[in-house]
Structure 1
């Protein structure tokens, strides 16, 4: 009995640490993104609002971003486009998906106000930063 309690306690601590790590990573991205977006008219009530904005954006955009990554890879594996074309298509799709996700989250969150320019700029920056993990095949 004590062994099961210890195992569950250890699992709870591990999950807590993992959740803390994920929130920490999102917070760093959120503060960087919020600083860039603020230049283009982004307004927020508190630093926690920024973190929630980016967390909700990531959750809302996850399914579409999966498709945005898979579509260029599929076209590349079918040899319908070149590696360069796949990279360009990925950046365009990822920017569009992130921008739409941010616009939706902005619409429903009263504690943040994002301009179209701020959403577009940070979406493009995030797409360019995530481009590095795109599989290159020649």
Structure 2
């Protein structure tokens, strides 16, 4: 399976503007630039997209892992915070912090913790990231 996206950039790094589009069309010319990445202007940025990808990937991996163990979640809600740190003359994504609230009928806390840890380690986006990955979870 191959999924695609593209970025178009015009101008300089600081004053230029970009657009990001995805194969599915969910993003279609979505604006990004210095002001959306390092300030709070409307638009997206690479770190926000990584956070969305990691939250979505982990949550889906957890749903599959719970199903394989005989459980069905009523709800899995994952927030992801990506940390972008200065590194030398550039920047590095250094951390991805997953925060999960889960409602899974009939599961014991210890078993859920094992399954969640496995999903965190096995999710394809976790495997992609060269960053510290943490998971805090609450079982409702």
TM over 0.5: no
TM-score, normalised via structure 2 length: 0.34
Greater strand content: 2
TM-score, normalised via structure 1 length: 0.34
Structure ranking higher on relative contact order (CA contacts 8 Å, 6+ apart):
1
Please tell me whether Structure 1 or Structure 2 has the larger radius of gyration of its CA atoms: 1
Greater helix content: 1
